[in-house]
């Protein structure tokens, strides 16, 4: 890493001894190949969008790295009129970046889930993982077993320069140097979420939502979230608090979540809410959902859905909640 053309201090340099958690964050939003990365001093955002109706953003906190240095001196253009957007960014091919991170086969989903599973056991956390065993081929464990994580050093010298990754499994083993071409960003696609008009907010263990969504037939077209406020007083209402309604060519499915703190950790709903989304859009969050620990779902008055997934950080309980992935999705028009 001593190319003479590079300025003495790169915009970004970061290192990590295990790229699995970083890769899991990126994999969560990898439903489209073009990702825009905006850098900041405490981490960076990786945003992906499709059709301007769904956006996925991975908030890569500097906590995911052992070392993180950001320096934008002299790189920001002087005529920076918009003060809200993070200034320095580039576009990158996300799938290529993921292939590079997994070059030694140790940043895959299999290794992360087995690793997080052992951590979960330590926390005595009964997170229904039964389907994770079936998601991977029977041979996967032989290929990923007994390998430590891949260490990484990442740097970005500035606009016009590639994103450079140096990866190594161990000090004596092979090293991989990847130079990913960066592109000028097209500007962020933001889906507005009106924070002050949130009419529904649910926090639940990801496995509860994951199991529900995995039950649904992939040919489903529409997915409706129905929320009714919790009954007041002692008169127990028959109406469920949270219902997922899936409609497709071959019929419809209804799934109800009971009014139970074990299931719905947080449930805030001020008025009956019903919004419909395209199932294929919600399904784009599956990878993030599968890797995540907890899910937060919110809708605003316009029906915009915000789903936040809390990702494992690999550093024990204290740091959980720092890493998350957010999806925002617009509702189908006819239901608004």
Partner 1 sequence: MRFRACIENVPTFCKIMQVIERLQKKCIIQFKPEIMRIICMSDANEAGIQVWSEIKVSTLFNDYRIQSNADNVISMSIASASLLHALQGIQNALAASGSSTGETARLALLSFALTTPSRTGRSQSLTYDVRIEVLRPLDMAKITEPLCPEPDTLILLPSLPTLRSPVERLRALSSTLLLRANIGPPTRLLLEVAGDDNEVRVKVEFSVKFVQTERQPDDEDGEPEEKDKEKLYTVPIAAKSFVKFLNCHIVSGQVIAAVCHRHCLILYFYIGSTGADSGGVLTFYIPSIVDDGPI
Q: Which of 157, 177, 2 is nearest to 75 (CA)?
A: 157
End-to-end CA distance of the chain: 54
136 is a site residue for partner 1 (CB under 8 A):
no
Using CA atoms, how far apart are residues 281 and 222, in angstroms rounded to an integer? 9
Using CA atoms, how far apart are residues 264 and 318, in angstroms rounded to an integer? 22
- Angstrom CA distances, 314 to 177, 258, 296, 323, stand at 25, 31, 20, 10
**Toward partner 1, which CB reaches closer, 162 or 240?**
162
Taking CB under 8 A as the binding criterion, the range among 16-24, 93-101, 318-326, 327-335 that sits at the site for partner 1 is: 93-101
Q: Could you tell me the smallest distance in angstroms from the CB atom of residue 210 to partner 1?
A: 27
Among 87, 103, 216, 283, binds partner 1 (CB under 8 A): 103
102 is a site residue for partner 1 (CB under 8 A):
yes
Among 100, 269, 293, 330, binds partner 1 (CB under 8 A): 100
**Toward partner 1, which CB reaches closer, 168 or 216?**
168
Using CA atoms, how far apart are residues 23 and 29, in angstroms rounded to an integer? 10
Among 75, 143, 193, 302, binds partner 1 (CB under 8 A): 143
**Toward partner 1, which CB reaches closer, 18 or 300?**
18
50, 31 contact by CB (below 8 A) = yes
Contacting partner 1 within 208-237 (CB under 8 A)? none
Query: Which tokens belong to 145?
Result: 């077993």
**Toward partner 1, which CB reaches closer, 105 or 159?**
105
Q: Could you tell me the smallest distance in angstroms from the CB atom of residue 172 to partner 1?
A: 8
Q: Which of 210, 216, 197 is nearest to 273 (CA)?
A: 197
**Toward partner 1, which CB reaches closer, 144 or 285?**
144
| Beta-strand pair 264-269/273-278 | unpaired
Q: Could you tell me the smallest distance in angstroms from the CB atom of residue 64 to partner 1?
A: 21
Q: Could you tell me the smallest distance in angstroms from the CB atom of residue 139 to partner 1?
A: 12
- Angstrom CA distances, 279 to 5, 109, 331, stand at 48, 24, 11
Among 50, 66, 105, 117, binds partner 1 (CB under 8 A): 105
| Beta-strand pair 151-156/43-50 | unpaired
14, 62 contact by CB (below 8 A) = yes
Using CA atoms, how far apart are residues 308 and 56, in angstroms rounded to an integer? 10
Contacting partner 1 within 151-190 (CB under 8 A)? 162, 172-181
Taking CB under 8 A as the binding criterion, the range among 41-49, 99-107, 190-198, 217-225 that sits at the site for partner 1 is: 99-107
Q: Could you tell me the smallest distance in angstroms from the CB atom of residue 105 to partner 1?
A: 3
Among 104, 208, 225, 327, binds partner 1 (CB under 8 A): 104
21, 112 contact by CB (below 8 A) = yes
Count of residues that bind partner 1 according to CB under 8 A: 21
Q: Could you list the residues that contact partner 1 (CB under 8 A)?
A: 93, 96, 99-100, 102-106, 143, 162, 172-181
């Amino acid at each position: 890493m001593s190319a003479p053309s590079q300025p003495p201090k790169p915009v970004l340099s970061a290192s990590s001894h295990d790229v699995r958690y970083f890769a899991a964050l990126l994999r969560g939003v990898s439903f489209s190949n073009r990702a825009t990365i905006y850098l900041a001093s405490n981490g960076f955002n990786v945003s992906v969008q499709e059709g301007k109706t769904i956006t996925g953003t991975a908030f890569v906190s500097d906590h995911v790295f052992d070392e993180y240095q950001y320096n934008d001196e002299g790189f920001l253009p002087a005529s920076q009129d918009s003060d809200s957007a993070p200034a320095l960014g580039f576009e990158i091919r996300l799938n290529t970046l993921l292939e590079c991170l997994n070059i030694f086969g140790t940043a895959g989903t299999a290794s992360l889930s087995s690793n997080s599973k052992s951590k979960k056991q330590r926390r005595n956390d009964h997170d229904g993982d039964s389907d994770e065993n079936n998601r991977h081929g029977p041979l996967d464990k032989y290929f990923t077993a007994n390998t430590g994580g891949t260490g990484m050093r990442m740097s970005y010298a500035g606009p016009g320069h590639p994103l450079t990754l140096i990866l190594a499994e161990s000090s004596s083993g092979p090293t991989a140097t990847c130079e990913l071409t960066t592109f000028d960003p097209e500007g962020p696609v933001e889906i507005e979420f009106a924070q002050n008009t949130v009419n529904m907010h649910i926090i639940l263990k990801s496995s509860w939502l994951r199991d529900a969504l995995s039950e649904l037939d992939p040919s489903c077209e529409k997915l409706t979230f129905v929320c009714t406020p919790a009954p007041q007083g002692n008169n127990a209402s028959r109406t469920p608090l949270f219902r997922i309604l899936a409609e497709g060519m071959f019929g419809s499915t209804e799934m109800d979540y009971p009014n139970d703190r074990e299931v719905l950790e947080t449930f805030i709903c001020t008025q009956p809410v019903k919004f419909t989304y395209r199932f294929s859009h919600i399904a784009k969050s599956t990878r993030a959902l599968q890797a995540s620990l907890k899910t937060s779902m919110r809708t605003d008055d316009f029906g915009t859905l915000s789903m936040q997934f809390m990702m494992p950080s690999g550093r024990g309980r204290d740091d959980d909640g720092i890493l998350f992935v957010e999806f925002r999705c617009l509702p189908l028009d006819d239901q608004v």
